[in-house]
């Protein structure tokens, strides 16, 4: 099985834009504030309705990233107690059940607590990985039926059997 090493990039709005939207720690003046709190409103948007919230505890296994999934709606990901690595690849045609993620176009982003990403519809993504041994994160997604031909599993191997080893 071919191996590719993938470096981790710092999350920026510009670099993540092809995959969705990055919500970065605020650097601007708060839109409102009070005693003991500052608020930055409208830092990002979710377009989908009826989103469900999920919680994941992820553990470092040392295994390479070998599969990805995609959704017809957005997915919001928010690290809670430690930084995460989110591997993404460009969106494919959701109408093509034979589509596979392209490992040569994959990017690994480091997302710190206080930052988040909104993965755009159709964008291939792996399960988030912890930078340390473990990490907790929340995600939201829209319930949807499986893609035709992928009723058994939504997780799809890369083209040509490539696996990605993440540089930590």
pTM of the model: 0.82
Residue 94 CB contacts under 8 Å (≥ 6 apart), including other chains: 70, 72, 121, 122, 147
Residue 20 · residue 119 · CB < 8 Å: yes
Query: What's the pLDDT score for residue 117?
Result: 95
Other Cβ atoms closer than 10 A to 84: 28
pLDDT, tens only, 95-152? 888 899 999 999 999 999 999 999 999 999 998 999 999 999 988 887 777 777 777 7
Residue 80 has pLDDT above 90, yes or no: yes
The mean pLDDT value for 55-61 works out to 88
Percent of the chain at pLDDT above 70? 97
Q: Which residues contact 6 (CB under 8 A, 6 or more apart)?
A: 65, 87, 106, 107, 108, 164, 165, 166, 167
Rounded CA separation 131/109 (Å): 11
The arithmetic mean of pLDDT across residues 52-81, rounded, is: 89
Domains in the chain, CATH or no CATH each: 3-166 (2.60.120.480)
* pLDDT at residue 48 in the model: 63
**Average pLDDT rounded to a whole number, residues 24-33:** 79
Q: Is the Cβ–Cβ distance between 68 and 126 less than 8 Å?
A: yes
State the DSSP H helix or E strand holding residue 73, giving kind and residue range, or none if neither: none
């Amino acid at each position: 099985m071919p191996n590719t090493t993938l470096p981790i990039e710092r999350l920026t709005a510009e670099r993540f834009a092809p995959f969705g939207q990055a919500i970065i720690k605020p650097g601007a003046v708060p839109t409102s504030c009070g005693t003991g709190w500052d608020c930055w409103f409208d830092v990002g948007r979710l377009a989908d309705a009826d989103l469900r919230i999920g919680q994941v505890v992820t553990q470092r296994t040392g295994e390479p990233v070998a599969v990805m999934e995609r959704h017809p709606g957005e997915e919001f990901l928010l690290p809670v107690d430690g930084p995460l690595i989110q591997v993404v690849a460009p969106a494919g045609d959701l109408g093509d059940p034979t589509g596979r993620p392209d490992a040569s176009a994959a990017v690994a982003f480091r997302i710190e607590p206080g930052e988040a990403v909104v993965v755009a519809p159709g964008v291939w993504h792996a399960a988030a990985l912890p930078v340390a041994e473990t990490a907790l994160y929340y995600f939201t997604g829209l319930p949807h039926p499986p893609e035709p031909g992928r009723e058994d599993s939504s997780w799809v191997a890369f083209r040509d059997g490539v696996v990605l080893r993440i540089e930590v």
